[in-house]
C-alpha cells in the first residue's frame, strides 16, 4: 500500500472511532437528562448544568481525536 493511503486510513479511523464514543455518550446524557427533568421538574437547573458540563467533557474527547487525526495526516 501507498504511505499516503495508510495515513488517510489511519486518520479516518482515528476520528471515526474517536467520535463514536462521545457521540453515543452525548446522546445517552441528553436522554437521561430529559428523563430526569420529566421525573423531577423542580431540579431542572441543576440537571441542565450538570448535563452541559458532562457534554463539554465528552466533546473534548472528540476534539482530542480530531487533533490526533490531523497529526496523523500532516505530521506523520
Q: What is the pLDDT of residues 10-43, one digit of tens each?
A: 999 999 999 999 999 999 999 999 999 999 999 9
Mean pLDDT of 49-68: 95
Nine-digit cell string for 48:
441542565
Domains and CATH numbers, the chain: 3-74 (1.20.20.10)
Mean residue pLDDT of the chain comes to 94
CA distance 35 to 69: 35
Could you tell me the pTM of the whole model? Answer: 0.81
pLDDT band at 5 (very low <50, low <70, confident <90, very high): very high
What percentage of the chain has pLDDT greater than the value 70?
100
Amino acid at each position: 500500500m501507498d504511505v499516503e493511503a495508510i495515513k488517510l486510513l489511519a486518520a479516518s479511523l482515528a476520528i471515526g472511532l474517536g467520535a463514536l464514543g462521545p457521540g453515543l455518550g452525548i446522546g445517552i446524557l441528553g436522554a437521561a437528562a430529559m428523563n430526569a427533568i420529566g421525573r423531577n421538574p423542580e431540579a431542572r437547573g441543576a440537571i441542565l448544568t450538570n448535563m452541559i458540563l458532562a457534554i463539554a467533557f465528552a466533546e473534548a474527547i472528540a476534539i482530542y481525536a480530531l487533533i490526533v487525526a490531523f497529526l496523523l495526516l500532516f505530521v506523520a
